Structure formats: structure tokens, C-alpha cells
């Protein structure tokens, strides 16, 4: 019997296959591992960081007056305005550069709680006991925003959700996530899984609430992380998260648009929560059509806000990130920046129709897996076709030359017998 011949075509295909699959599957989380920012704003560091990301190209048709207006009026380090229906980016500055997001992180745990309710794991009436381990760290530290939970006391899921969104309660966030996933890092892994499912890959996530590690016990930290590590995402990805929240669980927007809420109503532990969203009706920066969503601030993040709402019948998501005090000591807010952005865009109501605008849409995990399967099928088909060609009479099949037996290998072989 003749020994089997190994075609060079087969060798090439088998070598390409693993490399192709590696390239497809690798950018799930690794791409998000970028160097963390200092706890104090470092503008030179921001410039160096932004250089690593190519600018999002806006079309030549983009209104020049808007560019000038936003350069003059908007203070945010990065921002984006996205048309929810088309995913088109209507305005942006460094919208693809990940920066600290602070408590804007909390909209993802909130999403996961509603997802768990959908799956029958919880109801809004489910009572959860607040572990003293959490309240000692997050409720009793008055530097931190909290829902003032008491260790050992039970709270309904509904009350805790209002505590997360309205009070930005770090304690309420961890109580919910620990109940669902067992620990701080169990919750963080669930958040990462959800981001991956949405196709968001360029991020860093360390805590459920958005707090820097330095505020948590070291045993809560992710392996290999440091005290200064905190959650980071880009403005366009925060907008994409908000789009999923609005579309999948509009109940979250009902919470986010609430002006006043009685927590633990008619009990000795009753509190009244008031909105901190200055864009809602009756607030100092009020804007018609705003429905939410979430603020966030740390030393490194500055002040941030992701806003959802309707402008001229179009659903928009606006994110302003990294608003710091001005050099002259005057203070601005992300709410003011969001109003500047939306006021400017109102002068160009048809801008969303420009098909040349970039988008923030990402291929989801399911779409990436379908693409991988399609490529795998194409590779398999190529192998079959190559095999059929090799069976054609008269076609020469190139064999690999045996170079194992030669004077050098024979000589060395004497020492390894």
C-alpha cells in the first residue's frame, strides 16, 4: 500500500484555520485592557490616550456651524449624541475613547435585575436581606452615595432599584448583584458577559457600582487589579447600553424619570428620595422629552451623565463624560453640555437622515458567532474542493521532502540513542 500523500494545499488550509479562528474570537475582552487614568484629571495623559484611538470620521457634509458651536460651548472631555432608531452619531468628541464612567455603570446591573425578573428568578416584591458585610462598607461610609441600607434589614427589589437609580446607591447595587451572582466579582463577571453579548468589547470593569477599587476591601477586587482601577467605557458604548436599556426594559426609564419616591413606605425605615436629574421637568436644567437616565462622578471620571429622551419625535441618547471645573474656577455641568448639544442639533432637524454619518452599532455576540460559523463552513468547503481537485487523474500532488535523515541528523542521533 502506498503511504498517504500530504498535499501542500491541505497544509496551507490547516495552518490558516487556527489563525483565522483566533483572530475572530480574541477581541472579546482583551481589547478593553487599557491603562487606567490617574485619580486626578491629567490632560496630557488624556491626549496621549486619545492618540491611541483613530478619530471617528464625520462626513464632509457635516454642518460646520455645529462643529464651531460645540467646540465653543461643550466642556465635556468626550461626548456623543446617537439617534436610537438608526444608531447614527449626530455629534461626538472622542466618543470611541474609553474613560472612567463612575456610577453610569449602575444601569447595567439594573438591566440585569430586570432580566432576572423576566427569567422568573425575582419579582419586584421579592424581599432581600442586606448583608452587614455590604452595609458596613457601602452604607456607613458617608463619602459614598447610598440608599442608607441597614445590615440585616430586608428590602423589596423595587425599593432597591429606586435606591440604585435615584440615590445612586452603591449599597443597593451590590445587595442586588450579590443576591443574584453571589459576590462582587460574580456580579462583575455577569456585567462583562452582558457587554460581550451586546458586542461591546473595549471596556474595563472592576466593580458593580462604578466605585474605584480603593473604596472596597481588597478581597472584593478582581484578581490582578489595583487600588486605582475603576470602570471604563467609551461614550458611544455607554450610549449603546442606554439604547438596550430603553428598548428592552422601559420600566427602568419610569424609575429614572421619577421626581419623588417613598422608600420603605409606611415603615419606621421610610425615606423620601428626590431626583438628582436636573434635566427632568421642574428641575434647574429641565428639558422637554427627557426620560432619564443616570449620572456618575469620581475624581478621575469628572462629572458625567447619560440622557435618554425624545427630540422632535426622534429618540436620542446623549452622553457627556469628563466635565471638570474650568481653569478659572467656574463650574459647569454635564446637564448644561447636554442642553448645548441638543439645542445645536435642533437647528439641523434632518441631520439624522445623512446616511454618511458613522454609527455606534456593534456586531452582537450571536452575530459574531454566526460569522465565525459561516467562515468555518467556507473553510471546510475549500478543503473539500481541494480534495476533489487532488483526485483528478494526472494532477501532480506535491509531497514534503523527508529531511530528517541527513549526515548532520545522523551524527547527532548517535548522542541521543
Q: Which residues does the annotation mark as catalytic? A: 103, 106, 168
Query: Length of the chain, please?
Result: 417
Q: Is 361 annotated as a binding residue?
A: no
Q: How far apart are CA 257 and CA 277, in angstroms?
A: 8
Q: How far apart are CA 23 and CA 18, in angstroms?
A: 9
Q: How far apart are CA 366 and CA 234, in angstroms?
A: 22
Q: How far apart are CA 193 and CA 184, in angstroms?
A: 14
Give 408's contacts (C-beta < 8 A, 6+ positions apart). Answer: none
Q: How far apart are CA 274 and CA 263, in angstroms?
A: 11
| Secondary structure of residue 320 in the 3-state scheme | strand
Q: Where in 98-223 does DSSP place strands (E)?
A: 99-100, 127-129, 154-156
50 contacts 94 by C-beta, under 8 angstroms: yes
Helix and strand numbers (H, E) in the chain are 13, 11
Binding residues for substrate: 294
Amino acid at each position: 500500500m502506498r503511504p498517504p500523500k500530504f498535499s501542500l494545499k491541505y497544509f496551507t488550509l490547516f495552518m490558516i484555520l487556527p489563525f483565522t479562528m483566533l483572530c475572530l474570537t480574541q477581541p472579546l475582552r482583551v481589547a478593553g485592557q487599557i491603562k487606567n487614568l490617574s485619580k486626578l484629571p491629567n490632560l496630557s495623559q488624556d491626549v496621549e490616550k486619545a492618540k491611541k484611538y483613530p478619530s471617528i470620521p464625520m462626513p464632509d457634509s457635516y454642518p460646520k456651524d455645529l462643529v464651531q458651536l460645540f467646540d465653543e460651548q461643550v466642556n465635556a472631555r468626550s461626548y456623543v449624541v446617537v439617534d436610537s432608531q438608526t444608531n447614527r452619531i449626530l455629534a461626538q468628541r472622542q466618543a470611541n475613547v474609553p474613560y472612567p464612567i463612575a456610577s453610569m455603570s449602575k444601569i447595567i446591573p439594573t438591566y440585569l435585575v430586570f432580566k432576572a425578573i423576566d427569567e422568573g428568578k425575582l419579582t419586584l416584591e421579592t424581599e432581600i436581606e442586606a448583608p452587614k458585610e455590604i452595609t458596613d462598607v457601602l452604607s456607613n461610609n458617608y463619602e459614598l452615595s447610598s440608599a442608607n441600607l441597614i445590615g440585616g434589614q430586608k428590602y423589596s427589589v423595587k425599593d432597591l432599584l429606586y435606591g440604585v437609580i435615584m440615590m445612586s446607591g452603591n449599597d443597593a447595587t451590590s445587595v442586588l448583584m450579590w443576591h443574584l451572582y453571589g459576590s462582587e466579582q460574580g456580579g462583575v463577571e455577569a456585567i462583562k458577559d452582558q457587554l460581550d453579548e451586546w458586542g461591546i468589547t473595549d471596556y474595563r470593569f472592576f466593580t458593580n457600582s462604578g466605585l474605584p477599587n480603593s473604596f472596597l476591601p481588597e478581597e472584593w477586587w478582581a484578581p490582578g487589579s489595583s487600588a486605582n482601577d475603576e470602570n471604563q467605557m467609551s461614550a458611544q458604548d455607554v450610549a449603546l447600553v442606554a439604547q438596550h436599556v430603553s428598548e428592552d426594559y422601559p420600566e427602568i426609564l419610569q424609575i429614572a424619570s421619577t421626581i419623588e419616591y417613598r422608600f420603605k413606605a409606611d415603615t419606621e425605615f421610610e425615606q423620601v428620595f428626590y431626583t438628582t436629574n436636573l434635566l427632568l421637568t421642574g428641575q434647574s436644567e429641565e428639558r422637554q422629552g427627557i426620560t432619564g437616565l443616570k449620572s456618575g462622578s469620581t475624581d478621575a471620571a469628572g462629572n458625567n451623565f447619560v440622557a435618554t429622551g425624545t427630540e422632535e419625535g426622534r429618540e436620542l441618547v446623549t452622553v457627556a463624560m469628563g466635565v471638570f471645573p474650568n481653569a478659572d474656577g467656574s463650574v459647569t455641568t454635564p446637564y448644561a453640555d447636554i442642553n448645548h448639544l441638543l439645542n445645536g442639533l435642533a437647528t439641523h432637524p434632518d441631520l439624522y437622515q445623512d446616511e454618511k454619518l458613522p454609527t455606534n452599532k456593534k456586531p452582537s455576540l450571536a452575530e459574531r458567532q454566526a460569522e465565525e460559523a459561516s467562515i468555518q463552513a467556507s473553510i471546510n468547503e475549500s478543503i473539500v474542493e481541494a480534495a476533489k481537485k487532488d483526485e483528478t487523474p494526472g494532477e501532480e500532488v506535491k509531497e514534503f521532502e523527508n529531511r530528517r535523515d541527513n549526515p548532520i541528523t545522523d551524527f547527532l542521533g548517535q548522542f541521543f540513542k
